[in-house]
Chain A
Amino acid sequence: MEREEHMERTVERDSGFEGSGRAMRDRLTRFVAVGEVGVLLALIVLVTFFYIMEPAFLSERNIRAILRVVSFIGIIAIGQTILLVSGEFDLSVGAVAGLSAVCSAKLMTALALPVPLALLGGVLVGAGVGLVNGLVVVKLKIPAFIQTLGMLFIGQGLIQVVTNGYPVYPLPPVITEIGYADFLFGLGWSFVFFIAAALIADFVLRRTVLGRNMYATGGNPEVARLVGIDTARYKIGAFMTVGALAAVAGMFVMADLASGTTSIGSGWELNVIAGVVVGGVSLFGGAGTMAGGLIGVLLLQVVTSGLVVVGVNANWQQIAVGVIMVLAVGLDILRRRYFIAGSSSAPVAETPSNPS
């Protein structure tokens, strides 16, 4: 600790700055800057609050209900976190989930394909949409906001085209079995997949060259290219990952409902983005962790569920989600300002250079 303080002072002197309040402020900001710590504390506070207000909040049934929803949305949030880290985002995930689900449902019913093949088809639809999103954003330089918003509408339209507006059922019994499996406190396969995918994705982001290059791509694509990273490939890859994971989530919901319903995935895109952003994954790219993003998704679900259990009018849930998201993004911007303010605290120019 003492050594750290000493170094801190050296650094300060190096940058030509003095000020006793600065070290303290630095440390506080740095603590807030660790995304997961803040959001985890907030989660604990909220859970405690709802439990005190209504002990039934922590009933087995309610916990299971929360985790079930988290397992579906969370699968997509994994992909969204990876994509946000690489500096882009995808608004079409809900539509992609629905489209992949009804496509695979059609494949196994109307075309009578074997179930594994039909499921693979669903995943390919998701990854294919991701590929299109990625190519358009990276190669044609159309902003991700526009491209994926457009894809949201296109996907919703295609769901209607594929199904003519009618749910696809009955599905083969295997699907129903997947959906009704109730091991692991009744959480079933989707939760297992969610946990496994989250662990793998976390490992990839934190420990692999791929993950590191992803952060570099999102942090500053220009620098990433200069050090030899093929940023286009990374971004397209991330778009495809989100698409494929959205497809998986959509198909788990399909199994859960035992029907390829047209409403699968509708409205998820905002829950997913709001969740991971609340968890400290930066909308500006290059910052955030898998753990943070997924805790954020859980937090939003806790709030939504908690308000219901406590007996607040359902209309207030959405308001709460909105307020929380804005607060979280505000925090993200503060965090970024801390980095950028820091970057300018170094002496800008020894010889005041002439920018002209």
Chain B
Amino acid sequence: MTDPITAPPVIQTRAIIKSFSGVQALRGVDFAVHPGEIHALLGQNGAGKSTLVKILNGVHKAGSYSGEILVDGKPVAFASTSAARAEGVGYVPQEIEVLEQLSVAENVFAGHTGLGRGPIINRRRMEAEARALFQDLGLAIDPRMLVASLTSAQRHLVMIARALSFKPRVLMLDEPTASLSGVEVERLFSVLRRLKAQGKTMIFITHRLPEVLAICDRATVLRDGRVAAEIDREHFDEEHFIFAMSGQKLQRLYPDHVAPPAKTPPLLSVKNLSIAGRFGVNRGVSDVSFDVRPGEILGLAGLLGSGRTEILHAIYGRIPFSGEIEIDGSPVAIQRSADARAAGVALLTEDRKRDGLLFNLPVGANITIGNLAPLSSHGMVREGREKSAVLAAMRALNVKARSPQASVAHLSGGNQQKLLFARVLMSAPRVLLLDEPTKGVDAGTRHEIYRLIVDLADKGVALVVVASELEEVIGLADRCLVVADGRIVDEFTRGEGSEDKVLRSITTAQATLQQQALAAGAGRA
């Protein structure tokens, strides 16, 4: 933790502690970025990266955490994102946030004042300044173009230009390569190298190790809300990073489960599944095939944006795909979620608030929605039958709510999750797809959910589990597929896997992809 460099850090945090509803996200983070460096901020999902970033750019306001932020050695307190910007912290978010119907120059200077006289904007001056900015970046983007006509990589560069237009002391780039192809990544890196040559200081937030090795000067690795390691370029080494990122966590207790015999015929077969990438969100999925046997828990391990969620959504008919899905060896046509349900497939979605709960309906109706057919006759809901089904489901899954009439909004995260499990299980699915089944639930519920998953497998349900925490996938799954950039890059069975191994195969796959893309780019040039 000693600084080999003597110049004062451009931005520094001291003992930052931040908790959400009693859960500590950051447990005393000391983080320092020195002038002129590209500093990597690394960590697995949930390590505290985004919390730290949100504190540094003023999303989490001063006072909502303890500890200190110093810019050029001076303590600062950010009351808002614009305060952080005024103190010289530039931030380029991961999601592309542009105003499509405006020109490039207007996008770059959105949020600026004083570009002309009073409220009237001097368009010529704005365009000239934007052109100068792009020249500095070594880019040939015409400031008068409509942003709607730009590619996602170009839009990203516009956002970088926007952040630079505020003349920041330090520029934070949040997963800048998440939605870029290999060639585009290389182009972005040349922009970053140029900025570095001009003396700019940058923080590069990522979980892709090859990129850190390629461009960063120093790295801070977060794990469980603490700084696990601070590494200089001369000590850069994949092993070192992987060890720092995964560390030795306390083993959680997972219920025992014996995988079904290998010769059991598969219940769900996915053959040559491909999904088109979504513009600016991910790179899609290409040619993924796998089988799941009845009673088997299959884990999909991979980083965010790797395509693991998309695979589940495709099987459930939520997004269009090409390829074949077979249940019990016979192909089923899945075009809508209703088709998947009819085939005995159920999906538990990741985001309870966005696509899980119906906040306009009470607990009971939330459980029975979509499952009303057996609880009704002649189209009328039989209240008695519905109520007893709801109570039975609530009891079976230990959903704690005041009554079936209670509002779902006031349940705890764990109870909301169990409620959604109750909904999904009411249709007695044979194939269950679980996307982050323990996201945002307390430790007790987490264990209940693990128990439930294993019980379902014991009853012959085929389960596919996606989880951000590698340890969870590894602990729970009988067999684990590693997904990186929309492909399956590795596979191992229970006992063979470890977090190290997963991270390593992802890193190898990403490095290969990057090289391939570079070769392709070079071939084209």
Binding site for B on A (CB under 8 A): 4, 7-8, 10-11, 14-17, 26, 30, 207-210, 212-213, 215-216, 218-220, 222-230, 282, 285-287, 338-343, 345-356
Let me know if B152 is at the binding interface, CB within 8 A: no
- Report the minimal beta-carbon distance from A32 to chain B, rounded to whole angstroms: 13
Complex contact B337–A227 (CB within 8 A)? yes
Let me know if B333 is at the binding interface, CB within 8 A: no
Complex contact A342–B409 (CB within 8 A)? yes
CA distance A210 to B376 in the complex (A): 11
Let me know if B289 is at the binding interface, CB within 8 A: no
CA distance A257 to B204 in the complex (A): 75
Known A-B contacts A219-B358, A350-B442, A356-B49; A340 and B409 likewise in contact (beta carbons under 8 Å): yes
Contacts of A17 in B (CB 8 A): 21
Complex contact A210–B402 (CB within 8 A)? no
B3-11, B84-92, B364-372, B497-505 - the one binding chain A: B364-372
Let me know if B148 is at the binding interface, CB within 8 A: no
Using CB atoms, name the residue of chain A closest to B47: A354
Binding site for A on B (CB under 8 A): 20-23, 25, 43-51, 94, 174-175, 178, 205, 225, 304, 316, 318, 336-338, 341-342, 347, 349, 353-361, 365, 368-373, 376, 379-381, 383, 400-402, 407-416, 423, 438-443, 446, 468-469
Complex contact B23–A350 (CB within 8 A)? yes
Q: Which of A4, A216, A285, A287 contacts B369 (CB 8 A)?
A: A216
Interface-centre pick from A7, A223, A226 (highest chain B CB count, 10 A):
A226
- Report the minimal beta-carbon distance from B445 to chain A, rounded to whole angstroms: 9
Using CB atoms, name the residue of chain A closest to B365: A212
- Report the minimal beta-carbon distance from B22 to chain A, rounded to whole angstroms: 5
CA distance A334 to B440 in the complex (A): 27
Q: What DSSP secondary structure best describes chain A's contact surface?
A: helix
Complex contact B441–A350 (CB within 8 A)? yes
- Report the minimal beta-carbon distance from A39 to chain B, rounded to whole angstroms: 18
CA distance A26 to B410 in the complex (A): 10
Complex contact B380–A208 (CB within 8 A)? yes
Complex contact B46–A354 (CB within 8 A)? yes
Complex contact B468–A354 (CB within 8 A)? yes
CA distance A345 to B409 in the complex (A): 8
- Report the minimal beta-carbon distance from A167 to chain B, rounded to whole angstroms: 42
Known A-B contacts A218-B360, A356-B175; A209 and B411 likewise in contact (beta carbons under 8 Å): no
Q: Which of A218, A230, A339, A353 contacts B407 (CB 8 A)?
A: A339
Contacts of B400 in A (CB 8 A): 10-11, 14
Using CB atoms, name the residue of chain A closest to B350: A353
- Report the minimal beta-carbon distance from A226 to chain B, rounded to whole angstroms: 5
- Report the minimal beta-carbon distance from B28 to chain A, rounded to whole angstroms: 15
Complex contact A354–B407 (CB within 8 A)? no
Known A-B contacts A212-B365, A345-B409, A353-B440; A227 and B370 likewise in contact (beta carbons under 8 Å): yes
Contacts of B359 in A (CB 8 A): 219-220, 339-340, 342-343
CA distance A282 to B47 in the complex (A): 41
Known A-B contacts A216-B369, A220-B355, A343-B353; A230 and B338 likewise in contact (beta carbons under 8 Å): yes
Interface-centre pick from A4, A209, A285 (highest chain B CB count, 10 A):
A209
Contacts of B372 in A (CB 8 A): 209, 212-213
